[in-house]
Structure 1
Amino acid sequence: MSRKIELIVVDDHPIFRQGLVNVIETNERYKVIGEADSILDALSLVKTRPPDLLLVDISLHHENGLELVQELHRTRPQIFQLVISMYDEIIYASKALQAGARGYVMKQEATETLMSAIETVLQGKIYLSDAMQERLIDSYASWDTKKPEMDLITQLSVREMQVFRMIGQGFGVSEIAEILNLSGKTINAYRDNIRQKLAISDAGSLRKFAIKWIQSEFIKNN
């Protein structure tokens, strides 16, 4: 018998959380191994028994669930994370992906949609609802893809492209250095080279451009 896929649910509303657990466990392949209503409790559960997938609400009492997503993306990148939320503004979906989540689902979606999202994320893909994809496309459509920086991207080396992608995924210099097993000084040098090649004046502008590029790649591939 194959091992069940293990999940942890993080939500500060007990009734919704229990309903979510019940829905998930209708699939015999899934097992919810823990529930939490705060970042601290979630981190404790993950430390004790790391799941395959974590479902996280953005709003956790007075805490921001995306802080949990970002922390686990940095310390335990092997754990897939799916954000569930009542908020449907495009800024939240974008921020969730930037923090390290692999998908975003609104709470009012049908249970079939949630299960589809879980399956998609577990396959290593990114999941966004149709409505969110349309909004990202609308946002991307207003971005000038013919700007000079787009053509200049082809000039980046393989390593520079790797660093550029990670910047767009929300990683900081120290995190990139740790993942690539390089020094922070080396990553800063790569970042400076990327800025020069793309004719971008500062690190903040580079990060914004990299995030937009990552979003555009997602849209092209979905």
Structure 2
Amino acid sequence: MTTSVEMGEAMPRAQVLLVDDHPIVRQGMARLIDRQDDLSVCAEVESIAEALTTVDRMPPDVAVVDLMLEGGSGIDLIRSLHLQHPALPILVLSMHEERLYAERVLRAGARGYMMKRESPADILQALRRVLQGELAFSPAVLDKLIPPPASPDDPTSYDATLSGLSDRELEVFQYIRQGYSRRETANLLDLDVNAVQTYCTNILHKLASIMG
């Protein structure tokens, strides 16, 4: 049997909606994405109203959203998109400090947060991860989102969630909680640092259920 790949037919490309109020950013991202064999920009918009209308009119496979938009906050847009289109993966691409916003966008319904200063390769990898149903965060965000050690002054408890972690996830979780970086954790557990990042992503996915 001859497959479409063997016949040289192009595989379907995931359709990406870009939402950013800076034309130069949209154009740069569009050029980067359109050079990929598996990704294509279906629309570029600069406001919340345009984004909502575009998603209703021609639903994309994934949305890339900035936090500061014409007509309001990107977080408000994420909430609206998640409410109206819960299956739509959303990746935040922002210049704003991740430690202030990453947890908020996760709660709002985004599946990833990348800083604009990250490399094109890392941004594309994050885009593909959210398309696959995974969480995607920059390394700095991963280190900040794993909760710190519990203290008497901290009412938040993750004990119920810990029971749902695998043995290896629990090991990684405990090291990160103690303040070890992902690379240090990888060395201590004799793992590749990318494997530790995957474990962190899985942990965050499970913690997301108690973040509201």
**TM-score, normalized by length of structure 1?**
0.65
Shift of 1:89: 3.6
**Equivalences for residues 24-103 of structure 1 within 5 A:** 24-103=33-112
Distance 2:113 2:127 in 1: 10
Cα gap change, 1:100 to 1:30, in 2 (>3 Å):
same
Q: Of residues 16, 23, 30 in structure 1, which corresponds to 2:32?
A: 23
Cα gap change, 1:17 to 1:149, in 2 (>3 Å):
closer
- In the other structure, the counterpart of 2:194 is none
Distance 1:15 1:99 in 2: 27
Distance 2:205 2:151 in 1: 15
Q: Which amino acid aligns with 1:15?
A: I
- In the other structure, the counterpart of 1:187 is none
CA contact (8 A) 2:48 2:71 kept: no
- In the other structure, the counterpart of 1:207 is none
CA contact (8 A) 1:93 1:104 kept: yes
The alignment partner of 1:141 has SS state of coil
CA contact (8 A) 1:133 1:219 kept: no
CA contact (8 A) 1:105 1:114 kept: yes
- In the other structure, the counterpart of 2:148 is 141
Shift of 1:132: 0.9
1:29-53 C-alpha deviation (Å, 9 max, x unpaired)? 1111101000000111111100000
Is 1:114 equivalent to 2:100 in the alignment? Answer: no
1:170-201 C-alpha deviation (Å, 9 max, x unpaired)? xxxxxxxxxxxxxxxxxxxxxxxxxxxxxxxx
Shift of 1:148: 9.8
Q: Which runs of 5+ in 2 are unaligned?
A: 1-8, 163-200, 208-212
Give the length in aligned residue pairs: 160
**TM-score, normalized by length of structure 2?**
0.68
1:115-135 C-alpha deviation (Å, 9 max, x unpaired)? 010111111100111111112
CA contact (8 A) 2:150 2:157 kept: no
Cα gap change, 1:64 to 1:218, in 2 (>3 Å):
same
Q: Which amino acid aligns with 1:131?
A: A
Distance 2:93 2:57 in 1: 23
Shift of 1:26: 1.3
RMSD between superposed Cα atoms in Å: 2.9
Q: Which runs of 5+ in 1 are unaligned?
A: 155-214
Cα gap change, 1:216 to 1:81, in 2 (>3 Å):
closer
Distance 1:216 1:49 in 2: 31
The structure whose residues are more often helix, as a share, is 1
Runs of 4+ in 1 over 4 A off after TM superposition: 144-154
Distance 2:29 2:202 in 1: 32
Between the aligned residues of both structures, percent identity stands at: 35
